Amino acid sequence: MPPLSLSEQNDLRIVVESFFGKVYTAHWEMNEELLKVVTKMIKESEACSEAMDFVPRPRAYLTFIDVKKELERMARSLLARRGASYWICNLISTYQWKMEAEIAGQGVNGN
């Protein structure tokens, strides 16, 4: 799996800052593991999928590669919009995904 390019890392940073807060994500590595966590979050959460305006294909078949291709558009969408889905995704990401995202972003994911 090719590593994330610099622009992909920048876009991923915008996405994770938007949900988990810059205070926490400032020290995170923008890596494939973190992108996988974000992919799972979008796949499972209708609100998160809507918040990031992710509609190119059924979420059931959503892959890491799909999300990687859409990162730039997702980042732009998050900067531009703050609707109900965004706020709900924000709650879901904090209550359910924050710890998983942090261990991926700090490289301690996996035994």
Partner 1 sequence: MIVIAFQIDNGFATSVPNDPKTLPSCDDPSCYAVARPVPYPVSIEKDGVRVKYKYLSFNLPKDVDSLGITDTITVIGYDKNQRILIGSLSDNDFNLPESDISVADGLDIIFTKTPKDKEPDDNKNNFAWRLRILSKQELLGKADKIAVYKKEGLTVYFLSGPKGPYRNTAYIINPKIKNHVVMIQSNLDVQKFINIIASIKLKEK
Which span (2-10, 52-60, 62-70, 99-107) binds partner 1, by CB under 8 A? Answer: 99-107
Closer residue to partner 1, CB minimum distance, 2 or 27: 27
Closer residue to partner 1, CB minimum distance, 45 or 68: 45
29, 55, 63, 91: which one contacts partner 1 (CB under 8 A)? 91
Residues 23-62 that bind partner 1 (CB under 8 A): 23-24, 27, 37, 40, 44-47
Residues 75/15, Cβ–Cβ less than 8 Å: yes
String of DSSP letters for the chain: -PPPPHHHHHHHHHHHHHHH-HHHHTT----HHHHHHHHHHHHH-HHHHHHTT--SS-GGG--HHHHHHHHHHHHHHHHH---HHHHHHHHHIIIIIHHHHHHHHTT----
Q: Does 88 bind partner 1 (CB under 8 A)?
A: yes
Taking the complex as a whole, the smallest distance from the CB of residue 69 to partner 1 amounts, in Å, to: 23
Taking the complex as a whole, the smallest distance from the CB of residue 79 to partner 1 amounts, in Å, to: 7
